[in-house]
Amino acid sequence: MSDGPQSWRSRFPLLANDPALCYLDSAAMTQVPQVVLDALVEHESARRANVQRGTYGLAEAATEAYDKARESVRRFLNAADWREVVFTGGATASINLFAYSFGERLGPGDEVLISEAEHHSNLLPWQLLRQRRGITLRVLPVTGEGRLDLSQLDAVLGRRCRLVAIAHCSNVSGAVTDVEYIVRAAKAAGAAVFVDGAQYVQHGPVDVRALGVDAYAFSGHKCFGPSGIGVLWARRELLESLPPCFAGGGMGGRVTLEGHSLADIPHRFEAGTPPVGPAVGLGAALEWMVALPWAAIREHEQRLTKRLLSALTAAGDFRVLGPTDMRARLPIVAFGMDGVHPHDLTQLLGQAGVCLRGGHHCAQPLHAALGMEASVRASLALYNSDADIDGLLEGLERARRNLR
Ligand code: PMP
C-alpha cells in the first residue's frame, strides 16, 4: 500500500459505496476491507467444516485455516508461540476469561490494580472477582487530561498487588498508557500485567514482548476484522498455570465419568466449537495490517486529530477531553458542547451522515472523574480524510445554530 487515505478508503466497500458518509465511530467498530471479506467468503465457500475433529480433507483444510489465523495473531503481537493465542468471542470475553482464571488463585489480601480510565469491560470483571474471591481492587486515578496519573502509582501499587490490569488506550480520551513504565513498576512490586488492547490494535501491530506484558486482549471488529471474534494472549508459562473458565468439547484430554485431564494450551481455553470463520477473517485482517506503512498512517491520523482538536478548541464552546500532547494520544476525540446534550448532537449529525458516538461510552468512572456525565466521541481510522473532518465541523456549526 503505497498511496494515501483516498485509496485506503477505496479498499473498504461500505465507505467506497457511500462517498459522502463521514464514518467517525471506528473506536466502536472499524469498517472491513475487501481483502477480509474475500477471505471470509473464500473460507465459507471452500473450507467450511468444524475444526480439530474431522479427518476428512475438508475438515483438515478448515483446521489448517484456523491454525493459520492463530499464527497471524502471533505475528501481529510478536508473541513467542502460537500456543499463547486463545480465540474468544471478543475483548470482553477475553477479559472475563482472564479475570476468572487468574482470579482463581487470588483471595483476601490480594490486590488487583486497575485505573479510573477503564472501559466497563475492564472494570466489572474485576468487581465480580472482588465479590467472588474477596480481593481488594486498587485504582490509579487520572489527571485532568484523562491520562493515568503515574505520580500516584507508588501509592496504589503495593507488595500485595498481584496484577495490574489497564487499557493500552482509553476509548474516551484517546490517551495512550505508558505500558513499559507500568510494567517496570509492576515487576518491581512482583505483580503481573494484563493489558486491554481493544482501542490500540487498529492503530498498528503490537509487540507484547517488547512491552514486557504478561497478557493482552483485543477484539476483531475494532481492527478491521469480523465481529464475534477476539483474542486473549498470555505468556506460555502463565497460560499453562491458569485453570480454564469454560468446560466442554475440545478442551479435555482423557475424559471419564469421574473426571478429566486438560488438553494442551490454547485448546483448554476454547471449549466448544470456536468461531472458525471469524478467526479466519481476523487472521486476514491482521496479515493485511502488518504489511501497512504504519509510520505514514500514524502521521496521517495525527494530522487529522490535531486539525480537529484545534478547530474544537478555537470554537470556544466545546470542552475537549484528552491529552494535548499528540504523542500521548490516538485519534479518539471526545468532547462536550456547552448547553447541548451529546445525544442531541449525535442525532442531528447522524441525520447528515456524520457517524459519531454520544453517551458515557461504557466509561462512567472516567466521565465522573472529569466532571462530565457524557460526551460526544469522534474516532478516526486510517481511511478517514480531511473530508470527514470538514463534514464533522460543518455539522457542528449547523448544530450550534439549530440546537441553541
Ligand atoms: N475495552 C475497551 C477500551 C473498549 O473500548 C472496548 C469496546 N468499546 C472493550 C474493552 C470491549 O470490547 P468488546 O465490546 O469488543 O468486547
**Mean pLDDT value of segment 324-342:** 93
Average pLDDT over residues 326-335: 95
Which domain does 125 fall in, by range? 37-290
For residue 363 the three cell numbers come to: 466509561
For 68-116, how does the pLDDT look when each residue is reduced to its tens digit (9 = 90+)? 999 999 999 999 999 999 999 999 999 999 999 999 999 999 999 999 9
Is 48 contained in some domain? yes
- Pocket perturbation via mutation, ligand 1, pick of 222, 223, 229 by most ligand atoms within 8 A of CB: 222
Query: Is 31 a domain residue?
Result: no
Residue closest via CA to ligand 1's atom 6 equals 198
29 domain-assigned: no
* Each residue's pLDDT tens digit, 177-202: 999 999 999 999 999 999 999 999 99
Ligand 1 pocket mutation pick from 119, 361, 366 by most atoms within 8 angstroms of CB:
119
Distance CA 382, CA 5 (A): 7
Q: What angle do CA 322, 92, 336 make, to 5 degrees?
A: 25
Q: Are residues 16 and 144 in the same domain?
A: no
Are 153 and 205 in the same domain?
Answer: yes
Q: Is residue 105 part of a domain?
A: yes
Using CA atoms, how far residue 233 sits from 26, 73, 74, 211, 266, in Å, is 23, 9, 9, 13, 9
* 32 domain-assigned: no
Query: What is the average per-residue pLDDT within 360-370?
Result: 97
Q: What is the pLDDT of residues 130-150, one digit of tens each?
A: 999 999 999 999 999 999 999
Do residues 105 and 134 touch, judged by C-beta distance below 8 A? no
259 exposure class (CB count in 10 Å sphere: 0-12, 13-18, 19+): exposed
Residues paired with 215 in a beta bridge: 194, 234
Residue 1 scores a pLDDT above 90: no
Mean pLDDT of 167-175: 98
Q: Which residues line ligand 1 (CB under 6 A)?
A: 90-92, 119, 121-122, 167, 171, 196, 198-199, 219, 362
Cα 84 to middle of ligand 1, angstroms: 21
End of a domain among 290, 311, 342?
Answer: 290
Do 17 and 63 lie in one domain? The reply is no
15 lies in the same domain as 59? no
Q: Is residue 333 part of a domain?
A: yes
Residues paired with residue 320 on neighbouring β-strands, in sequence order: 335
Residues 131 and 198 in one domain: yes
Q: Are residues 98 and 198 in the same domain?
A: yes
Asked if 363 contacts 172 with a C-beta cutoff of 8 angstroms, the reply is: yes
CA gap 100, 71 in Å, rounded: 26
Instruction: For residue 317, give the CATH number of its domain.
Output: 3.90.1150.10
| Residue 223 counted as domain residue | yes
Tell me how many domains the chain contains. 2
Percent of the chain with pLDDT over 70: 98
Kindly tell me if the per-residue pLDDT of 2 is higher than 60. no
DSSP for 145-190? TS-B-GGGHHHH--TTEEEEEEESB-TTT-BBP-HHHHHHHHHHHT
Residue 7, pLDDT score: 80
* Mean pLDDT calculated for residue range 390-398: 96
Cα(91) to centroid of ligand 1, in Å?
6
CATH number, residue 125? 3.40.640.10
Please tell me the distance between residue 119's alpha carbon and the centre of ligand 1 in angstroms.
Answer: 7
136, 180: one domain: yes
**E strand segments, 316-396:** 318-320, 332-337, 354-355, 357-359, 375-379
Whether 286 and 311 map to the same domain: the answer is: no
Q: Give the torsion sign (CA, 50, 54, 57, 60).
A: positive
Atom of ligand 1 nearest to the CA of 221: 15
Euclidean distance between CA atoms 350 and 60, whole angstroms: 46
147 alpha carbon to ligand 1 midpoint, in Å?
Answer: 18
Per residue in 263-322, pLDDT (tens digit) is: 999 999 999 999 999 999 999 999 999 999 999 999 999 999 999 999 999 998 999 999
Question: How remote is the CA of residue 198 from the centroid of ligand 1, in Å?
Answer: 5
Number of H helices, E strands in the chain: 15, 15
Residues 45, 163 within the same domain: yes
CA 95 – CA 216 distance, rounded (Å): 9
Instruction: State whether 320 and 259 are in the same domain.
Output: no
152 and 92 fall within a common domain: yes
Cell 467506497, located at residue: 16
Same domain, 99 and 220: yes
Active site residue 169: no
Ligand 1, atom 4: closest residue by C-alpha: 198
Cβ neighbours, 10 Å, residue 3: 10
Pocket probe mutation, ligand 1, options 168, 282, 361, 362, max atoms within 8 Å of Cβ: 362
Residue 148 CA to ligand 1 centre (angstroms): 18
pLDDT single digits (tens) 43-55: 999 999 999 888 8
End of a domain among 266, 290, 314? 290
Among 95, 96, 199, residue to substitute to test ligand 1 (most atoms within 8 Å of Cβ): 199
- End of a domain among 240, 259, 290? 290
Distance (Å) from CA 330 to ligand 1 centroid = 15
The whole-model pTM stands at 0.97
DSSP string over 41-52:
HHHHHHS-S-SS
207-244 pLDDT per residue, tens: 999 999 999 999 999 999 999 999 999 999 999 999 99
Catalytic position from the list 169, 223, 245, 362: 362
For the CA of 222, the nearest atom of ligand 1: 15
270 vs 124: CA distance, rounded Å? 22
In a domain, 30, yes or no: no
